[in-house]
Structure 1
C-alpha cells in the first residue's frame, strides 16, 4: 500500500487548552483555585503541539498543589528534557521526523537552528550564510549553487514539519524577508538530540539564555563543547580567560537589555574555532585584538555593529573565507589587512 504524509497542525488556543485539561483531569484542575491559571501557563509552553499537550497533561495529572505546579512549570521552561515524559515519550516520537531526513547534511542543518533564540524568526539568507561558513554546503561548486542548495534544505525541513517558513517585515529597512521558525518543543527536541539524547557529558551544543550573571564555574562546564550560543548572558568581572579547546562555533545574539561584554582575554584560547558571529550588536564598538589569534577562523560576521575599523591583527587570519561587514557606518579597512 502507498503511504501519504499528513501534516499535523498546531491547535488554536481554545482547542489546545481543552486537550491539555482533558489529560490533566478535572479532579486535578479544580483541586485548588490557583491551578486553572497555572494550567494555562503550562499549556502555553506546548505552543499548540498536540503530542506535547498530551504528554505534559498526563505528567501534570495528580499534581494538586500550586507549589508543585510552579516547580514543574519552571522545569518545563528551563530544563524541558528533565520534565516527566519528555525524554522517554515525547522526544523519541518527534525524533522520527528527524531520523527520516535524507542525509547527514540536512540533519546537521536542522540541529544548527536550535542555536538560535527561542521563538526567533531566523532570516533564511543569514542562516544559509552560516551553513556555508560551517562547511555544511561545501559539496557545491560555487556560492550560487551553495545558496540554492541551502534553499532546498530549508524546503525539505519545512516539508518534514521541522521548520516553518514565514515572511517578516524589517522595521529598519521596511523590506520583507523570508524567515524560518522552529517550534519551541521541536527546538527542545533538537537540543536533546545534540546532547547525544540527553547525555550531558557529550554536549555538542550549549545555549546560554538564562539572562543572569555567568560565573567561572559555569564557563568551565562549556570547555568541551564544539558549538556555543550566547542568547542572553553577562559575565562576572575579573574572570580568568577561559579555555575552549574544542570550540568550533561561537554565535552571539543581540539582547537589548544586556550589553555585549566579554571578560578580558575571552577569545585568547580557541585553537580550532571556524565560525564567529558577532553581528547585529549596536554596542559593539571595538573588536578585541585577540581575535587576531584565531588562526583557524573561516567565518566572521561583524555586520550591523558600530565598529569603525578593523585591528591590524586580523591580517593573521589566513584561512578566513567569509567576512561580513554589512551596514557599517563610517567604516574603513586598513590597507594590507586582507
Structure 2
C-alpha cells in the first residue's frame, strides 16, 4: 500500500535521456535536416532526465521536420511547458498523483510555495521554513520552536515522496519538471497563470510588468532601476528579490502594495532602507539578511503588524526606539555587533539576553541562538 502513495522521480543519465528521446522522435525526423539532431539533444536536456517527459515530448516532436519548429518548441519548453503538447494533459496529471496524496493542505501549500524560486534554485532549510512561518503556513503552534520542528518534518516528508530533492547540506530544491508541475498546479490549473511569477530577464518589457498586477507571489532577479512606468501590486502577498546587485528601487515602487505580507530583500545590494517601505502596513515578515544595510530608520516603526524581522549578517546598529514600536513582533533574529539604545551600546551577548527578557517594552521570541548554533 505504501508504494501507492508517491511516484518516485527516477531520472536517466544525460546519454540515456538523449538516446530515449531520439528513439521516440524517430530516424526519419532526425535525418530531415542537419540541425535537428543537435536541437533534439537540447530538447532532451530540457526534460531533465524524466522518462515520462522524454517519451511525451519525443513523440510530440516526431513530425517536426524543420529547425524553426524545433526552436519554437524548445522555447516553449523553457517558458510555458504546460502549453507543450502532452505536458498539461498527460505528464503533469501523472506527477500530480504524488501531490494529491500528500496528507494535508499545509504540506501541499508548502510544496507549491517552493515553485516561487527559479529553476535549480537551492535554499537552506531554515530559510525556507522561516518563509513558511512568515507566510502563515505554520500558524497554530505555541512557539516558534514547534513551528520550526513542523517545518523540518514537512521538508523530510516532501523528500520522502520525491517532491523535494537534497541539494547539499541542509538545502533543498525541486526537480525542474516537478517545479513546472507545481507552477501549473498553483496557477494555470486553477485558472490564473500569473498567480506566481518569476522574472529573471535582464530587461523588463511593459507587458511583463503589467502581469504584476495579477501576481500573488513574485520573485524578481531582474534589474529594476530603469523602470519608469507607474507600478501597482493590488494582489501581491509575497515579494522576494533575488538580485544581489540591486541597490535601489524605482520611485514609488512600494507605494501600492495594499495586502503584502512577506518581503524578502536578503542578499541584495541595498545600503539603506528603501523609500516607501513604511507604507507596507500589512507586512508581517521582513528579511534584510546579508545586505549592506547598517541602520534602520524610524520609518520602520509604522509596520505595526510586523511579526518576523530577520537581519542576520547585516546591521551594525539599530535604534531600540524602532523595535519598541513593533508591538506584534514575535521573532527578532539577528547576528550583528551592537544594539544602540539611547544611552549605550549593548554587546551581542547582552542583546540576546535582554531582547528575550526586558530590554524592550513587550515580549517576543529571540531566535539568534537557533540560527547561529
In the superposition, the TM-score normalised over structure 1's length comes to: 0.90
What is the CA-CA distance between 1:30 and the residue it aligns to? 1.9
2:321 alignment partner in structure 1: 336
The DSSP-based 3-state class of the residue aligned with 2:189 is coil
User: Superposition pairs for residues 222-241 of structure 1, below 5 Å?
Assistant: 222-234=212-224, 236-240=226-230
Larger Rg: 2
Q: Which runs of 5+ in 1 are unaligned?
A: 168-176
Is the CA contact (8 Å cut-off) linking 1:300 and 1:322 kept in structure 2? yes
1:179 alignment partner in structure 2: 171
How many residue pairs get matched? 321
Bigger RCO of structures 1 and 2 (CA < 8 A, at least 6 apart):
1
User: Superposition pairs for residues 270-309 of structure 1, below 5 Å?
Assistant: 270-281=257-268, 283-309=269-295
The DSSP-based 3-state class of the residue aligned with 2:260 is coil
What is the CA-CA distance between 1:239 and the residue it aligns to? 2.2
Is the CA contact (8 Å cut-off) linking 1:232 and 1:255 kept in structure 2? no
Distance 1:150 1:84 in 2: 36
CA distance 1:261–1:187, shift in 2 (3 Å): farther
Distance 2:41 2:225 in 1: 34
1:268 alignment partner in structure 2: 255
Is the CA contact (8 Å cut-off) linking 1:117 and 1:231 kept in structure 2? no
Comparing 137-146 with 221-230, greater Cα deviation is found at: 221-230
2:209 alignment partner in structure 1: 219
1:172 alignment partner in structure 2: none
CA distance 1:228–1:39, shift in 2 (3 Å): same
Distance 1:332 1:14 in 2: 54
The DSSP-based 3-state class of the residue aligned with 1:287 is coil
2:236 alignment partner in structure 1: 247
Distance 2:228 2:72 in 1: 34
What is the CA-CA distance between 1:79 and the residue it aligns to? 1.6
1:191 alignment partner in structure 2: 183
CA distance 1:32–1:148, shift in 2 (3 Å): same
Is the CA contact (8 Å cut-off) linking 2:244 and 2:267 kept in structure 1? no
The DSSP-based 3-state class of the residue aligned with 2:58 is helix
The DSSP-based 3-state class of the residue aligned with 1:250 is strand
CA distance 1:185–1:261, shift in 2 (3 Å): farther
2:69 alignment partner in structure 1: 68
What is the CA-CA distance between 1:337 and the residue it aligns to? 0.5
Is the CA contact (8 Å cut-off) linking 1:81 and 1:198 kept in structure 2? no
2:34 alignment partner in structure 1: 33
1:4 alignment partner in structure 2: 3
Distance 2:81 2:202 in 1: 17
CA distance 1:237–1:253, shift in 2 (3 Å): closer
Offset from partner CA, 1:156-213 (integer Å, 9 cap, x none): 111111111232xxxxxxxxx411110111111111111141633x632122123322
What is the CA-CA distance between 1:53 and the residue it aligns to? 0.5
In the superposition, the TM-score normalised over structure 2's length comes to: 0.82
Distance 2:226 2:266 in 1: 23
What is the CA-CA distance between 1:96 and the residue it aligns to? 1.2
Q: Which runs of 5+ in 2 are unaligned?
A: 324-373
What is the CA-CA distance between 1:286 and the residue it aligns to? 1.8
Distance 1:238 1:30 in 2: 49
Distance 2:287 2:210 in 1: 26
